[in-house]
Structure 1
Amino acid sequence: MPLTGHDCTIPALIIDTQAPLDVLHDAAVYRIRAVTQLLENLAFRDQLSSDAVVLQDFAQLLAIPLRDGCDVLDVISRRLNGDPA
C-alpha cells in the first residue's frame, strides 16, 4: 500500500500490508514517538523564536513521519477488523 503522505503516480514508499502485526506496530510507534519526542523538547524550551517560513518547514518535516505512522496504524486496524488488505 503506498504511503498517503507522498502523492505521486508511481509510489516509491509502500507499506507491506501483510507484514506481521508486531512489525507494523513497531514501525508506527517508532515514527510517532520520534515526532512526539521532538515536539516535547521544543515545548519545554524557554525561548523559541523563528520566522513563519521556518516553522512551516518544521511542521511539514514532522508531519511526514507522523502521517506514515498513522498510515501503518490504519493497516493494523484493518487487519484486526478482518478487512481485506
Structure 2
Amino acid sequence: MRDELDPKGLIAEAYRIEGIAAEECRSIFFDWALSLPDGQDPREAVTVMLERHGQEGHPMTAVLREGASEPLRRGRRGGASGRRG
C-alpha cells in the first residue's frame, strides 16, 4: 500500500534507524517535505506523521514538532523596497 503523505517511507524509516541523530532527521525531513504532493498543506502532513509515528525522546519527533510550529517572524527581508523606506 502506498502512503500519499510518505510515498518514499522516509519518516517511517527514520523511526526504525537506531541511534539516528537530529541532523540526519532534519535532512530526512527536508527530503520528505519536498516529496509531498502538490497542494498538500505541509503542517497538516507533519501533524499526521506525528500522530502515526511520534515517539517521545526520538529526534525525528522533535524535528517534526519544529516543522509543525509557526515559522519565526524575522525582520525585513531586504531588497530594493526594503531600502527605500
Please say whether Structure 1 and Structure 2 have the same fold, judged by a TM-score greater than 0.5. no
Which structure has the higher relative contact order (CA within 8 Å, separation 6+)?
1
Using the size of structure 1 for normalisation, the TM-score is: 0.31
Which structure has more helix as a fraction of its residues? 1
